[in-house]
Structure 1
Amino acid sequence: MKKILQILIFILVTAGVAQNNNISKWNDLASEDPSLQPEYGNIKKTKEQKESDKEFVNKLLEEYNGDRKKASAKMIELGFQYLYQKRDLITAMRRFNQAFLINPKNPNLYYGFGTVYFNLGAMEEARNQYDKGLQIEPNHFEILTDYGTTYLGEYYDEVNSDPSLASKKLDLALKKLNKSYSVNPDYSSTTYKLSILYLLKNDCENSRKFLDTTKKIDSNVITQDYLNEFNLKCRTDKIDCSTIKTGKFKIEDEDIGITIITRTNDFQIEENEGLNYKLKLSITWLDECTYELKPIEDLINPNAELPTMVVTCQVTEITENSYQQVSSSNESSIKMSKEVEILN
């Protein structure tokens, strides 16, 4: 069980470090390769480079009967395919730059440039590119939404170290998202992020409003993790958890495999053959749907040192065959959302 927590902490703590390393490595590559810089870094090209660009542009325009808008749109489409489907940021940036050669007035190429930086965790650089796109098309709702999302990303970076700055980031995000919503109220990415933002502001009324709107537009964008968080803060109806206070349950996880849980009124036993652990924990119900777990015995290695953490689990939803819960511990601020299958 302690190993599970360590894995989760490692994943979340290293995420920000990985992003910083990514942009640093990218900048190193881009310093040697102008095709990895937006607009080729506006370098002064050699005669050979200019001739190569001209040959490429003429060949593509011939394919699209001289229509620069269509040719540019095709390169941008390819760029986003490499970005989202293949996670190939290098080829994506090169396709966006090729679109720039054909039609530098296409706002979507700056949307592409910005999205590459967004995926590298470089929010300021992303906003610089989004600004260029908005200069061409001020009501580009997709750019506006992703612009606001950069501030949401920075909110999570700052919320623990500088709550005041984090709050300002939320306000900046809200301004962009509201502008996007005013342009296109049917864009699910905008309404979903507005729901998230208002939940972070503890405004359940507006969070619920935009969550309901998102469900009507495209419920597939809503994650179960978010629904769990929403239910924890804003659910008004009560859940009957009496049916899961005892029984046998199963949790499946990509990282740690299958954990079988046997729960009685006083304790539960968790067994994971893949990690070779079988742990007995005391269980205390703090309220109708919140319980606390404390390790009391290692059933495989009785002399082993037990984890000192206390895990608190809050049940957010129950269906016929499973329930959703959010778990936290006294050793970390990390929260985990999990579906727990009801076996009997």
Structure 2
Amino acid sequence: MNKFIVVLVWALGASLPSFAHAQKVEVAPGAMVTRKTYQVPANEAPFFNFVEKNAAQKAADQQLIDSVLQQVPDRSKAADAALKSGTRAFLEQQDFSTAAKRFNQAYLLDPQQSGVYHGFAMVVAARFRDFEYADELFRVAARMKAPSLSLSADHGRTLLMAGRPHEAKPLLEKAIKDTPDWAVPRMNLAWAALLTGDKVEACRLIVQVKGNGLENVENDLTLFKQKAGC
């Protein structure tokens, strides 16, 4: 999964109210998630919005799988290609509906791939502002096959968006260890320190913001210095 572009945390509102507790569903062997649905077409929501597929829909799924595997016989590689396509749609075009469709295709091909859950988490955070469910999906992604180096950074960023900086902090610290040359998690860790009331630590961390993607956090740097006074 490619790097999840930073979004200014101060400009974001609180998350939507939590849904009532819903049943858990096994979406892959050993992987349980909450059954949540959204008011969008089924293929634009995680796990096809948990629809009960009829025979025709199941046949269409199989036809898609067969068509993809004719071109890329390895299911994991085919799923990875779908994940990369979805990530490009998400990051480069901000096209959340197409991204979700590609992540659902990857789910059909290889539901054990961490990137499926990582991608779904990004979509529900960005499109539906459902940070609680995004948090759940990120946690599932961390247990699945081949998690991305950007997973902790994206998870921590989402918890900042949700107004949960204490929980975001250890994830962002891990993200810096995983991707030391990426400026975005360094910026977000400074925000986390400031939002938890540790201004001294925040001012120490802000001078360490460097590396790839620095241009993406220039506005954050300016606002941070205004807020923190350092």
TM-score category, normalised to shorter length: 0.7 to 0.9
**Comparing 86-95 with 129-138, which one deviates more in the overlay?**
129-138
CA contact (8 A) 2:176 2:182 kept: yes
CA contact (8 A) 1:199 1:230 kept: no
Q: Tell me the equivalent position of 1:98.
A: 105
CA contact (8 A) 2:82 2:105 kept: yes
Measure, in 1, the Cα distance between the counterparts of 2:147 and 2:86.
22
CA contact (8 A) 1:76 1:112 kept: yes
1:82 to 1:217, Cα distance in 2 relative to 1, 3 A: closer
CA contact (8 A) 1:195 1:207 kept: yes
CA contact (8 A) 1:111 1:130 kept: yes
Measure, in 2, the Cα distance between the counterparts of 1:87 and 1:139.
22
Q: 1:58 aligns with which of 58, 66, 74?
A: 66
**2:112 alignment partner, SS class:** coil
1:226 is matched by which residue type in structure 2?
L
Residues 318-337 of structure 1: pairs in structure 2 closer than 5 A: none
Deviation of 1:194 (Å): 0.7
1:188 is matched by which residue type in structure 2?
A
Q: Tell me the equivalent position of 2:38.
A: 27
Measure, in 1, the Cα distance between the counterparts of 2:211 and 2:150.
19
Measure, in 2, the Cα distance between the counterparts of 1:153 and 1:127.
11
TM-score, structure 1 as length reference: 0.52
Deviation of 1:231 (Å): 5.4
Structure 1 position 194 matched with structure 2 position 201: no
CA contact (8 A) 2:114 2:144 kept: yes
Structure 1 position 111 matched with structure 2 position 118: yes
Structure 1 position 36 matched with structure 2 position 41: no
**CA distances 1:17-70 after superposition (whole Å, capped 9, x unpaired):** 9x859x9xx8222xxx33233222444422222221111111111112x12222
Q: Tell which structure's C-alpha radius of gyration is larger.
A: 1
1:215 to 1:171, Cα distance in 2 relative to 1, 3 A: same
1:96 to 1:204, Cα distance in 2 relative to 1, 3 A: same
| Count of aligned positions | 201
**CA distances 1:137-169 after superposition (whole Å, capped 9, x unpaired):** 5964422222222221122xxxxxxxxxxxxx2
Deviation of 1:174 (Å): 0.8
1:27 is matched by which residue type in structure 2?
Y
Measure, in 2, the Cα distance between the counterparts of 1:138 and 1:174.
23
**1:105 alignment partner, SS class:** coil
CA contact (8 A) 2:83 2:106 kept: yes
Q: Tell me the equivalent position of 1:152.
A: 160
Q: 1:129 aligns with which of 123, 137, 153?
A: 137
Q: Tell me the equivalent position of 1:269.
A: none
CA contact (8 A) 1:141 1:180 kept: yes
1:149 is matched by which residue type in structure 2?
R
**1:28 alignment partner, SS class:** coil
TM-score, structure 2 as length reference: 0.74
Measure, in 2, the Cα distance between the counterparts of 1:129 and 1:85.
22
Q: Tell me the equivalent position of 1:212.
A: 207
Measure, in 1, the Cα distance between the counterparts of 2:116 and 2:147.
15
**CA distances 1:285-316 after superposition (whole Å, capped 9, x unpaired):** xxxxxxxxxxxxxxxxxxxxxxxxxxxxxxxx
Deviation of 1:90 (Å): 1.7
1:77 to 1:138, Cα distance in 2 relative to 1, 3 A: closer
Greater relative CO, 1 or 2 (CA 8 Å, sep 6+): 2
**CA distances 1:63-117 after superposition (whole Å, capped 9, x unpaired):** 12x1222211111122122223332222211111011111111111111101011
**2:208 alignment partner, SS class:** helix
1:222 is matched by which residue type in structure 2?
V
Q: Tell me the equivalent position of 2:168.
A: 173
CA contact (8 A) 1:117 1:123 kept: yes
Unaligned 5+ residue runs, structure 2? 1-10, 20-36
**1:214 alignment partner, SS class:** coil
Measure, in 2, the Cα distance between the counterparts of 1:152 and 1:139.
21
